[in-house]
Amino acid sequence: MIRWLYTFCLACIFPFFLVWFLFQMVLKNKYRRGFSQRLGMISVDRNMTGEMRRAIWVHAASVGEVR
């Protein structure tokens, strides 16, 4: 019951948060810098060595998660 209520509240609040976020991003120019990186779009630097270009990036909160 509690989980259903929590999910329902999040579903009701999310559209308002999304409008606020887009307003901040478009009109106030907040959060725009690095937005594509948050979506995983990272440009490859031309000066990187061949070994660095083949690297696999892993995002984790701690070293234990990587292990």
Residue 45 above 80 pLDDT?
no
pLDDT at 52: 59
Q: Which of 1-10, 12-21, 23-32, 47-56 has the lowest mean pLDDT?
A: 47-56
Give 40's pLDDT tier (boundaries 50, 70, 90).
Answer: confident
Nearest to 42 by CA among 30, 21, 59: 59
pLDDT at 49: 59
pLDDT at 15: 94
pLDDT at 50: 58
Q: Residues with Cβ < 8 Å from 1, sequence gap 6 or more?
A: none
